[in-house]
Structure 1
């Protein structure tokens, strides 16, 4: 199980979609595994600590769950808050607050107790760089970077990250399952994404996967639709964008980790959570994966269902309510 990681840095709450300010706000929080010690002090998990609140943690106090001002983060905040209430924790919700800079300061001051973060984005915000773009490496670096007052719990398998996606038709026709599978056809394909996508990823795609595309287009928010209508053959789409499901797109696997880890992770003020809260949040992380988060975002962003109702249904279906 994961433990709190401590260090010296800052936190924020995530999301990018092509805007530099949002990219800077991308959250990263993660969990580190360990075999002994206090879960709030860099040692073991809450269960390994005997189920009691660690020193300095608020036992029986109100846990204030915050979120950034975009739908996915609000949904995650609602999942966290309802999971905590299901375990008898007193909870206050403060959603749609704003950017990472604002949220991070409020978490440090204790005005917020818990935030849904994204580990890779958080590390980037703190100015850190992992030795490898993997979850474990990112979390290990976060452990050195976060201030002692803050910690991360278990990272979920769920990631909201860049993908190279193709249409279902292209995947079937050319046998495309991984980014590497594009090698035989890249010279005939047009690739698209946000305006900055080419400058950031053209060389890494050559270096890591040996891909040189016929043409690059700046397609921004129309990327998914361009894949569907065939004006693009490959596009940069976020892994939890509901259009992946809606338009039947196929995100290609990234075995060489071109795009770094962006695991959804609870970031907490250590003094504001006890072992009960830690256990409830870690249980959420254990159940949440990218496919499931994508399905939830389909309900919120496309079907326009209330995030709290979607969160409630997910918790019930996963035995967490």
Structure 2
């Protein structure tokens, strides 16, 4: 059976870094892929050469390692280019045909890559629209998405949620003014799909005595928001990313976006059409991975890396084994 290629050695990394600075090429993330086999030993991708990439933040690296490990277990000769620096580099590499497979988010495809402003709250509709545009414009296939949704959300500590009796953003809108206190970062405050439009969607006027006075909003670094929310000061409600590992670690309660304000950022495997045409088994192989991934799973996996300090390759392999998708060799 073909094995996964190791991540690039140091000498090649030095050369690659020079290329990155020049504006093209990618650097793979640290850590080697762990070898496994599919249950039953099938190798539907024997003879396939596939390059997997990802962006550099934790969730993307974990998803990339899951994909690279699984495709290698299915017999592919995989080049691991996960952890590409900068959000644009992995995208551009795939558009240039230098890489084959990566995970993306439907909201990113809609807003960032195609600059669409129409708000679509239905995850399937958004995926369909992005899928059709990407296939027509870029010959990229967005496979059916998972239910993991890495979007903005608001959370409270369990104690705060119980004290105030809130489980949704509509509940927050009904609270006394003094209890409507928020921690957010500067970007979210100024985004066209961020804080101020959210307040409007929930019927809460900003900078008014009976709505949200400016003193009720504290702007801070996004990393500090989680601990401030857990402490319940200076805010009852903090902006979070819905799949962040700090949510379970700090036992935060994510509030339901019951008016469906936030755009879905559903995770989807994106593959070059020519590669999928040559190796159609990839779509069937990736389906069970997408079906098993959700917000709770990603919070746990992200937390194992960011909080427990585990290697993303180990986290990915362990999850594949636990999910019954890969057997150790």
> What TM bracket, shorter-length normalisation?
0.7 to 0.9
1:271 maps to 274
* Structure with bigger gyration radius: 2
- Aligned mates of 2:140, 2:46 — CA distance in 1: 17
Question: Per-residue deviation at 1:294?
Answer: 0.2
1:209 maps to 202
Q: What is the CA deviation profile of residues 225-280 of structure 1, one whole-angstrom value per residue up to 9, with x for unaligned ones? A: 11122211011011122221121111101122211100111111111232221111
- Aligned mates of 2:202, 2:272 — CA distance in 1: 40
Instruction: Say if 2:54 is the partner of 1:67.
Output: yes
Structure-1-length-normalised TM-score: 0.77
Instruction: Say if 2:200 is the partner of 1:197.
Output: no
Instruction: Say if 2:155 is the partner of 1:168.
Output: no
Contact 2:160 2:232 in 1 (8 A): no
- Aligned mates of 1:109, 1:59 — CA distance in 2: 25
Runs ≥4 residues deviating over 6 A: none
- Aligned mates of 2:176, 2:105 — CA distance in 1: 31
Contact 1:110 1:272 in 2 (8 A): no
Equivalent residue pairs, number = 265
Question: Per-residue deviation at 1:99?
Answer: 2.5
- Aligned mates of 2:199, 2:119 — CA distance in 1: 21
Question: Per-residue deviation at 1:186?
Answer: 5.4
Q: What is the CA deviation profile of residues 192-217 of structure 1, one whole-angstrom value per residue up to 9, with x for unaligned ones? A: 11113233434323332123334111
Question: Per-residue deviation at 1:160?
Answer: 1.3
Instruction: Say if 2:302 is the partner of 1:311.
Output: no
User: Can you give the 5+ residue segments of structure 2 that lack an aligned partner in the other structure?
Assistant: 1-43, 205-210
2:125 maps to 137
1:88 maps to 75
User: Can you give the 5+ residue segments of structure 1 that lack an aligned partner in the other structure?
Assistant: 1-52
